[in-house]
């Protein structure tokens, strides 16, 4: 685990977040698991009120470009997304194991995610576009598809075609304005 990791919150910057599956085990390798991850992300987005500017879910990691949440901070958001997804995917995985194997492994923790995540503050338009392009090209660079619009688990179609996926991109409707009471 890295030491001296610094996170910079509170300045209103966007955050480019990368999180990998534990030891690069492809916990996001099926359409159903990627859909479950995106459903979980959308639930947390609504609860903590933040903007998702972009995303891509790959078989063994994901990238997000998000605003700072109005409730909590990006670390709390990531903790909850990872925790809820793990709680939803682990019981299904354990049920599929044979009885003897399941008993032997019941006490072993089943890791889904790496303990930490990478967080890069994005404060310029140039960096925002750079990170979006990187995310949207990721499935092409990994050889999963030949064109970014073919990968259903990214925000590319939202930008290109205006198609809303499981996660609402650039949705400001959930944001609540903070108004100061008038001065006496």
pTM, entire model: 0.84
Task: Tell me the pLDDT tens digit for each residue of 122-179.
Answer: 999 999 999 999 999 999 999 999 999 999 999 999 999 998 889 999 988 877 766 6
Percent of the chain residues topping a pLDDT of 90: 71
Euclidean distance between the first and the last CA atom of the chain, given in angstroms as a whole number:
51
Give all strands of the β-sheet with 61-66 in edge-to-edge order.
52-57, 61-66, 14-20, 118-122
With bands split at pLDDT 50, 70 and 90, how would you rate the model's confidence at 104? very low
Range of 8-17, 33-42, 157-166 with top mean pLDDT: 33-42
C-alpha span between 45 and 77 (Å, rounded)? 8
When pLDDT is averaged across residues 6-22 and rounded to a whole number, the result is 88
Task: Tell me the pLDDT tens digit for each residue of 165-181.
Answer: 899 999 888 777 666 67
Q: Which helix (H) or strand (E) holds 64?
A: strand 61-66
Per the model's pLDDT, the better-predicted residue between 94 and 119 turns out to be 119
């Amino acid at each position: 685990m890295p030491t001296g990791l610094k996170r910079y919150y509170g300045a209103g910057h966007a955050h480019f977040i990368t999180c990998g599956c534990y030891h690069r085990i492809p916990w996001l390798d099926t359409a159903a698991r990627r859909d479950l991850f995106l459903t979980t992300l959308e639930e947390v987005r609504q609860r903590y009120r933040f903007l998702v500017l972009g995303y891509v879910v790959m078989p063994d990691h994901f990238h997000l470009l998000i605003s700072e949440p109005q409730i909590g901070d990006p670390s709390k958001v990531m903790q909850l997304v990872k925790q809820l997804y793990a709680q939803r995917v682990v019981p299904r995985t354990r049920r599929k194991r044979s009885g003897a194997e399941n008993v032997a492994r019941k006490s072993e923790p089943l890791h889904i995610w790496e303990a930490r995540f990478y967080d890069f503050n994005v404060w310029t338009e140039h960096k925002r576009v750079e990170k979006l392009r990187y995310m949207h090209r990721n499935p092409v660079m990994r050889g999963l598809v030949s064109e970014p619009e073919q990968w259903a688990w990214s925000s590319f179609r939202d930008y290109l075609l205006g198609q809303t996926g499981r996660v609402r991109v650039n949705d400001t409707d959930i944001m609540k304005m903070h108004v100061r009471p008038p001065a006496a």
